[in-house]
Amino acid sequence: MDYKTTLISLYHLLISADNNVNEKELAFGKEMLKIEGIPEVTFNAKIEELKKKENAKVYSESLEGLKKLDAQKQIRCMAWLSAIANADGFMDKEEWVLIYKIYHTELGLPLDEIMKLQKELNMLIHGKSFTSIGIRVNK
Question: pLDDT: is 24 or 127 the higher one?
Answer: 24
| pLDDT of res. 137 | 40
**Alpha-carbon distance 5 to 10, whole Å?**
9
What's the total number of domains in the chain?
1
Q: Which tens digits make up the pLDDT trace of 73-95?
A: 999 999 999 999 988 778 889 99
CATH code of the domain containing 71: 1.10.3680.10
- Whether 77 is in a domain gets the answer yes
**Residue-averaged pLDDT of the chain:** 89
At 127, is the secondary structure helix, strand, or coil?
coil
- Whether 39 is in a domain gets the answer yes
The CA distances from residue 44 to 25, 39, 65, 80, 124, in Å, are 15, 9, 19, 18, 23
**Boundaries of domain holding 74:** 3-126
- Whether 34 is in a domain gets the answer yes
- Whether 138 is in a domain gets the answer no
Q: Residue 72 class from Cβ within 10 Å (0-12 exposed, 13-18 middle, 19+ buried)?
A: exposed
Rounded percentage of the chain residues whose pLDDT exceeds 90: 71
